[in-house]
Structures are given as structure tokens and as C-alpha cells.
Amino acid sequence: MLFYSYHNIIIYLKNIDWNSISHKIDDLIIKTIISIESNLRQNCKNYIGYRNSCYEIFGFDILIDSFLNPWLLEVNLSPSLNCDSPLDQKIKGELIAESLNIASNNDNYIKYLLKIHSLY
């Protein structure tokens, strides 16, 4: 097992290509959603009257290994939105705001999200 000083870890993290890691994580999340799409579609068909009347937030726990590869640990259905710290409040507040923008069917905002994630 290797141990690094805090200073060496910070130097290492500054040299990482975060765009590459972000794309790998996006790919992992997309593949995970695709793998459960048929179950989601069937549940929506069985239990929801209108397609656009129900939304769900999934919480993805992802580990990044020493080779900078993301690994899916688990997916949480309806993760807790309880805030225990200012950082927690900032992250979850932005998540809720972004979710509401998407749910409101704001086409310009959805196109913006797709564009920044190179999906549009």
C-alpha cells in the first residue's frame, strides 16, 4: 500500500484531465440508465397516468481508482436531500434547482445542458 503526503496528492490532482474523467463518468451513468430503461418504462406505463407527471432523482456513488477509471458502487433511488453542511446545501440546492428547470420542460435550459455535456 502506498501513502502520499497531502501536498503530493494536491500536485497529482492538479495534473489530472478532469474532462476525460467526466466523460467516463457520464458514459457510466448513461449505460446504467439504459440498462434499467425497460423496467422504468414499464413501471411508468403501469403506475403513472401521464408521462410527464413524474420525476425521479438517482444518486450515483462512483469510486475513481488509481488509474482514474470510474467504478459504479451503487445507485440510490430517491437519495437524501438533507443538508448537514454549507457545502452540502450548495450542492443539493443546485441539484434541486437544475432538476426543477428540467422538470419544467424549459427547452432552452435542456438544450444548454445537452450542449455542455456534448449530447446535443
Query: Given this model, what pLDDT does residue 106 score?
Result: 65
Q: Are residues 109 and 89 in the same domain?
A: yes
Residues 27 and 72 sit within 8 Å (Cβ to Cβ): no
Q: Give residue 47's domain range.
A: 1-79
Residues 100 and 62 in one domain: no
Both 48 and 95 in one domain: the answer is no
- Whether residue 59 sits in one domain with residue 4: yes
Assess whether 74 and 90 both reside in one domain: no
Say whether both 50 and 97 belong to one domain.
no
- Residues 59, 21 share a domain: yes
SS (H, E, C) 77-95: ECCCCCCCCHHHHHHHHHH
> How many C-beta atoms lie closer than 10 Å to residue 72's C-beta?
14
55 and 102 inside one domain = no
Q: Give the DSSP H or E segment for 41.
A: helix 18-47
58-64 and 70-77: which strand pairing?
antiparallel
Per-residue pLDDT of the chain (120 residues), as tens digits, is 455 666 777 777 788 888 888 899 999 999 999 999 898 888 888 888 776 677 788 999 999 888 999 999 999 988 888 888 888 888 888 888 888 877 777 667 667 766 766 544
Whether 60 and 7 share a structural domain:
yes
Number of domains making up the chain: 2
Check whether residue 15 and residue 31 sit in a common domain: yes
- pLDDT at residue number 76: 92
Nearest to 31 by CA among 52, 55, 56, 62: 62
